[in-house]
């Protein structure tokens, strides 16, 4: 890793001028439009200025993200599939289309989707227009499906060649730029940066010459992308979760605590490499074993020896209690149900009338006489003797 003392400051200074100009232009535009919008009384006019401010900020933020990707790739990194996005013909952001139309008419005519890194792709379109304006008279930008034997999407920034004649190649174009001119050197930097952005998206960068119209064009052929699901995993990567063997054994130990009876059938868990199969017990399908889950887990995983000491309880040995058959209660039992006679209330009222009469307004409390239980027993009807018909019952 490069330390601060090892930085090549001449190279940083070389890029500083280019990046400063690219960033300062949209940021200054945003600040100027904010100042104008504060003094506008017309709400519609102020809203238009705020929309342009948002567009300028989007341009600046996209530039920073695109350069971050370029530096990452040039330093040995790669852009993975999950960092890319499938772009349909109608999915370009509004701020980008408005910015491209400020350069030149932009015609989007392709029908195939592209699978690209969005920020570097957007910056490539901006650079195509910016360079085309610098090296000649920019006429239009088109995005169209490739025809004939080639497949993909052609992006062309058409321009009028200079007066001294058309450029013969990209190398010849760079050689024609004046090394003493700051603007020409900035254009040369843009050409190299554009080539780096196009390589990130597997696009082929060329210079075309139309002999019929006399136009030239900076072109890039992007590969077409098959229809993809947004949530599909990147190619070559597994979507399933791999559980390590140690974690699997711990899960099996915890599941072994919650089991049914040993006689029930259970399908085995596939054995780990170098191990034995473990029966799969239905969780929460039966009673919980008395042993604590942590102790069972340690015993199953082999991290600690289970406690095998047999504990005894001292005290007298209790004989098993014999099971007895309940017999119906007899008439003289203390828990015999006593049924009062039909005239029980009248007899109770007659007994209460002989007691002290309560004062007016107090609740009358009916107190049974002392021989109340004997009275109820005498009032019970005598049951018929059916022992002759059913025989003597054995105790």
CA max distance for the chain: 144
Instruction: Locate the domains of the chain by residue range.
Output: 8-222
Share of the chain above pLDDT 70, in %: 57
- Nearest-10 crossing angle of helices 43-74, 94-103: 90
Q: Is 142 helix (H, G, I), strand (E, B) or coil?
A: strand
Q: Which of 90-104, 201-215, 233-247 has the lowest mean pLDDT?
A: 233-247
CA torsion 53→56→62→63, rounded to 10°? -140
Q: Are 128 and 96 in contact (CB under 8 A)?
A: no
Identify which has the larger pLDDT, 164 or 382.
Answer: 164
Q: What is the pLDDT of residues 1-58, one digit of tens each?
A: 778 888 888 888 888 888 999 999 999 999 999 999 999 999 999 999 999 999 999 9
Helix 182-200 to helix 43-74 angle (10° resolution) is 70
284, 254 in Cβ contact below 8 A? no
Q: Tell me the three state secondary structure of residue 85.
A: strand
- Closest by CA to 73, choosing from 193, 239, 231, is 193
- Buried/exposed 94-128: b ≥16 CB within 10 Å, e otherwise: ebbeebbeebbebeeebebbbbbbbbbbbbbbbbb
Q: Which two tokens stand for residue 108?
A: 């989007």
Model pLDDT for residues 94-129, shown as the tens digit of each residue: 999 999 999 899 999 999 999 999 999 999 999 999
- What's the fold here for domain 8-222? Heat Shock Protein 90 (3.30.565)
H helices of the chain, in order, are: 9-38, 43-74, 94-103, 118-135, 170-176, 182-200, 245-257, 293-301, 344-353, 372-379, 387-390
State the pTM of this model.
0.58
Query: What is the residue-wise DSSP string for 183-226?
Result: HHHHHHHHHHHHHHHHHHTTPEEEEEE-TTT--EEEEEEEPP--
DSSP of 2-71? --GGG--HHHHHHHHHHHHHHHHHHHHHHHHHHHHHHT---HHHHHHHHHHHHHHHHHHHHHHHHHHHHH
For residue 156, give the 3-state DSSP assignment.
Answer: strand
- Flag whether pLDDT at 239 surpasses 70: no
- 100, 113, 3: which is closest to 55 by C-alpha? 100
Per-residue pLDDT tens over the stretch 358-393 = 555 455 555 566 666 666 666 655 555 554 444 444
How many alpha carbons lie under 13 Å from residue 71 in its C-beta half-sphere? 9
Question: Which pLDDT score, from 0 to 100, does residue 15 have?
Answer: 86
């Amino acid at each position: 890793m490069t330390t601060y003392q090892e930085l090549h400051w001449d190279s940083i200074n070389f890029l500083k001028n280019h990046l400063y100009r690219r960033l300062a232009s949209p940021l200054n535009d945003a600040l100027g439009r904010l100042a104008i919008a504060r003094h506008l009384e017309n709400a519609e006019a102020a809203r238009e200025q705020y929309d342009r401010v948002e567009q300028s900020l989007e341009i600046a933020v996209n530039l920073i993200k695109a350069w971050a990707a370029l530096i990452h790739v040039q330093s040995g990194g790669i852009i993975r599939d999950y960092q890319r996005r499938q772009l349909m013909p109608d999915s370009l952001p509004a701020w980008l289309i408005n910015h491209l139309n400020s350069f030149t008419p932009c015609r989007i005519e392709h029908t195939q989707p592209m699978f690209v890194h969005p920020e570097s792709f957007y910056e490539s379109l901006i650079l195509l227009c910016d360079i085309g304006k610098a090296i000649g008279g920019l006429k239009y930008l088109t995005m169209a499906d490739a025809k004939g034997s080639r497949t993909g999407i052609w992006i062309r920034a058409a321009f009028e060649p200079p007066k001294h004649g058309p450029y013969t190649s990209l190398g010849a174009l760079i050689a024609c730029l004046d090394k003493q001119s700051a603007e020409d050197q900035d254009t040369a930097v843009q050409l190299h940066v554009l080539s780096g952005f196009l390589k990130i998206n597997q696009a082929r960068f060329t210079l075309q010459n139309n002999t019929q119209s006399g136009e030239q064009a900076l072109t890039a052929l992007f590969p077409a992308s098959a229809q993809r699901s947004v949530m599909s995993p990147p190619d070559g990567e597994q979507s399933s979760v791999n559980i390590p063997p140690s974690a699997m054994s711990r899960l099996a130990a915890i599941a072994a605590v919650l089991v049914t009876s040993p006689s029930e059938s259970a399908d085995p868990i596939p054995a780990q490499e170098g191990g034995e199969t473990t029966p799969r017990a239905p969780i929460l399908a039966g009673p919980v074993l008395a042993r604590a889950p942590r102790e069972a887990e340690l015993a199953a995983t082999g991290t600690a020896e289970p406690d095998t000491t047999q504990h005894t309880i001292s005290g007298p040995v209790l004989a098993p209690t014999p099971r007895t058959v309940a017999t119906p209660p007899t008439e003289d039992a203390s828990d015999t149900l006593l049924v009062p006679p039909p005239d029980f209330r009248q007899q109770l009222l007659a007994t209460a009338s002989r007691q002290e009469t309560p004062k007016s307004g107090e609740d009358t409390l009916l107190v049974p006489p002392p021989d109340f239980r004997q009275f109820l027993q005498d009032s019970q009807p005598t049951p018929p003797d059916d022992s002759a018909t059913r025989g003597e019952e054995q105790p």
